[in-house]
């Protein structure tokens, strides 16, 4: 079988460390031949004689013929393997020294050490996986919530690929139909009417728009949302961090200004992953160290994709709260979602706080959530608001395609821009000119799932993998 990769690679595919078993994966044209040099099935057969896709018990021997281990060997013949190449998987006892010794034996017999993600890259190059499916493999490995795992599983099964293939085919039909009439006017070819071209463009545009909107949910579930807890000192910001993290991550005291630096934590808020930052309280201060913390808080606010703005209304809004409102209102005006939290609700004077709550709601365009962060039951209410903020009504964990990273979003956005231009061009310059924009949209979709992707993008994606995958 021809392979674009000249070498046979090997790596430990299970985590390093002691365990019941470890798996060493060998892939390439010479995988079986190399492994036959030191693996001897108990049946007396050679590995090349083992039926493909089957397992056997075998002795793994060192260079002097001594027994290294008794292992279970799985043999895959090309193209019926993960990589599309001949592959041997060695399941041995999971000792650190033992596993390394077997890997070194594999390398000494002719294999080379695999690089990060090289097995999955070979699967992509062999057409076993699309680029979005390869990224879904990363997603399954990195998943920190059940929702992220489920979404990665859907995409590994090809949900995104099927959706983008359908859009690509629609555009291809439109372009080929229009160009066929132009290039072969004397042939008896059925032509597409302008209305049919318009309907096809609108159909593709709607499908791309749905994919584009799905990124809000996909990013929140899989990549995680940069979230800042923002407010003046002693409003309970660190208590809210601890509430969401479900552990004592930050020091909490009654002394204002306890937090002087940005404290970061990754937490699962229901289906949404938060890259959470608790910041120093923003206020005027002559303390040099504290002023640095305040500046870092404002910088974190500028980068945030979600703002948890915290107010302590047990003391009423004051000038420092108004400053907080101004900072947050500016970010909200740029489309950054804000959840206003009126903390210490157990101490509220309802008549006194009603006007303050109305002031916050008017300034930020969102109804504040009232809670007591010291009460663990408040977490459910806050998580529910966070999920509502990021879960799209278009998202269904059972069937819909959801894009999950910035690369995919950029490709879809680019394709959508060209399709919109095609629709505008159609009315003024005709179908043939509109098709030029549709071809550019096809190019963007080609980049999305690997049809026309550059080598630099491929390298960047697969270098995110661990060695052995």
Domain parsing of the chain, residue ranges: 9-123, 135-219+402-449, 224-373
Quick one: pLDDT band at residue 167, thresholds 50, 70, 90? very high
List beta partners, residue 417.
none
pLDDT at residue number 95? 87
HEC string of the chain?
Answer: CCCCCCCCEEEECCCCCCEEEEEEEEECCCHHHHHCCCEEECCCCCHHHCCCCEEEEEEEECCCCCEEEEEEEEEECCCCCCCCCCEEEEEEEECHHHHHHHHHHHHHCCCEECCECHHHHHHHHCCCCCHHHHHHHHHHHHCCCHHHHHHHHHHHCCHHHHHHHHHHHHHHHHHHHHHHHHHCCCCCCCCCCHHHHHHHHHHHHHHHHHHHHHHHHHHHHHHCEEEEEECCCCCCHHHHHHHHHCCCCCCCCCCCCCCCCCEEEEEEECCEEEEEEECCCCCCCCCHHHHHHHHHHHHHHHHCCEEEEEEECCCCCCHHHHHHHHHHHHHHCCCCCEEEEEECHHHCCHHHHHHHHHHHHHHHCCCCEECCCCCCCHHHHHHHHHHHHHCCCCCCCCCCCCCCCHHHHHHHHHHHHHHHHHHHHHHHHCHHHHHHHHHHHHHHHHHHHCCCCCHHHHHHHHCCCCECC
Question: Between the CA of residue 321 and those of 233, 234, 281, 315, 446, what are the distances in Å?
Answer: 10, 12, 11, 11, 50
Tokens for 406, please give them.
């910035």
If you average pLDDT over every residue of the chain, what do you get?
A: 83
pLDDT at residue number 90? 96
- Is there a cis peptide before residue 79, judged by omega within 30 degrees of 0? yes
Q: Report, as an integer, the average pLDDT of 196-221.
A: 91
Q: Report, as an integer, the average pLDDT of 329-341.
A: 91
- Rounded Cα distance between 356 and 352, Å, is 8
Chain centroid to CA 425: 35
pLDDT at residue number 399? 52
Quick one: pLDDT band at residue 233, thresholds 50, 70, 90? confident
Asked if pLDDT for residue 325 goes beyond 60, the answer is yes
Quick one: pLDDT band at residue 464, thresholds 50, 70, 90? low
CATH homologous superfamily of domain 135-219+402-449? tRNA modification GTPase MnmE domain 2 (1.20.120.430)
Question: Between the CA of residue 383 and those of 217, 325, 340, 378, 391, what are the distances in Å?
Answer: 15, 22, 13, 9, 12
Quick one: pLDDT band at residue 15, thresholds 50, 70, 90? confident
Quick one: pLDDT band at residue 247, thresholds 50, 70, 90? low
Asked if pLDDT for residue 358 goes beyond 60, the answer is yes
- Rounded Cα distance between 21 and 2, Å, is 33
Quick one: pLDDT band at residue 460, thresholds 50, 70, 90? low
pLDDT at residue number 266? 87
More confident residue, 350 or 381: 381
pLDDT at residue number 88? 95
For 369-398, what is each residue's pLDDT tens digit?
Answer: 998 888 888 899 999 999 888 875 444 444
Pick the CATH number of 9-123 from 3.10.450.50, 1.10.1240.10, 3.30.1360.120, 3.40.50.300: 3.30.1360.120
Asked if pLDDT for residue 187 goes beyond 50, the answer is no
Q: Report, as an integer, the average pLDDT of 72-76.
A: 95
For 120-148, what is each residue's pLDDT tens digit?
Answer: 889 988 888 888 888 888 888 888 888 88
- Rounded Cα distance between 203 and 207, Å, is 6
Pick the CATH number of 224-373 from 1.20.1730.10, 3.40.50.300, 3.30.413.10, 3.30.930.10: 3.40.50.300
Adjacency order of strands within the sheet including 39-41: 39-41, 54-61, 67-76, 87-94, 19-27, 9-12, 112-113
């Amino acid at each position: 079988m021809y392979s674009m990769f000249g070498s046979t690679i090997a790596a430990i595919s299970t985590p390093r460390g002691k365990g019941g078993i470890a798996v060493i994966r060998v892939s390439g044209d010479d995988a079986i031949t190399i492994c036959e040099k030191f693996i001897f099935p108990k049946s007396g057969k050679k590995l090349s004689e083992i039926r493909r896709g089957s397992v056997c018990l075998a002795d793994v021997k060192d260079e002097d013929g001594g027994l290294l281990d008794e292992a279970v060997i799985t043999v895959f013949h090309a193209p019926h393997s993960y990589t599309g190449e001949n592959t041997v998987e060695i399941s041995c006892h999971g000792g650190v020294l033992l596993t390394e010794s077997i890997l070194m034996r594999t390398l000494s017999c002719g294999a080379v050490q695999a690089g990060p993600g090289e097995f999955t890259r070979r699967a992509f190059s062999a057409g076993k996986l699309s680029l979005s499916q390869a990224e879904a493999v990363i997603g399954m490995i990195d998943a920190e919530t059940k929702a992220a795992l489920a979404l990665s599983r859907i995409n590994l099964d090809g949900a995104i690929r099927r959706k983008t293939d359908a859009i690509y085919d629609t555009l291809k039909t439109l372009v080929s139909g229009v160009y066929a009439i132009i290039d072969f006017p004397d042939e008896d070819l059925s032509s597409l009417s302008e209305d049919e071209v318009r309907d096809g463009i609108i159909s593709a545009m709607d499908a791309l728009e749905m994919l584009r909107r799905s990124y809000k949910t996909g990013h929140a579930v899989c990549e995680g949302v940069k979230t800042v807890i923002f407010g003046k000192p002693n409003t309970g910001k660190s208590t809210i961090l601890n509430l969401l993290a479900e552990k004592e991550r930050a020091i909490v005291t009654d002394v204002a200004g306890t937090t002087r630096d940005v404290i970061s934590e990754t937490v699962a808020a229901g289906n949404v992953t938060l890259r959470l930052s608790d910041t120093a309280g923003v206020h005027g201060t002559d303390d040099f160290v504290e002023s640095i913390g305040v500046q870092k808080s404002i910088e974190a606010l500028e980068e945030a994709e979600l703002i948890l703005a915290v107010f302590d209304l047990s003391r009423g809004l004051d000038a420092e709260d108004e400053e907080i409102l101004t900072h947050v209102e500016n970010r909200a005006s740029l489309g950054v979602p804000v959840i206003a939290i009126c903390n210490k609700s157990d101490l509220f004077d309802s008549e006194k706080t009603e006007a303050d709550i109305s002031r916050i709601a008017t300034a930020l365009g969102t109804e504040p959530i009232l809670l007591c962060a010291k009460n663990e039951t408040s977490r459910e209410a806050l998580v529910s608001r966070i999920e509502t903020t990021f879960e799209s009504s278009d998202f269904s964990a059972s069937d819909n395609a959801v894009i999950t990273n910035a690369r995919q979003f950029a490709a879809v956005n680019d394709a959508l821009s060209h399709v919109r231009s095609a629709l505008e061009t159609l009315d003024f310059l005709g179908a043939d000119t509109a098709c030029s924009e549709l071809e550019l949209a096809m190019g963007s979709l080609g980049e999305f799932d690997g049809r026309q992707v550059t080598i630099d993008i491929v390298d960047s994606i697969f270098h995110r993998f661990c060695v052995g995958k």
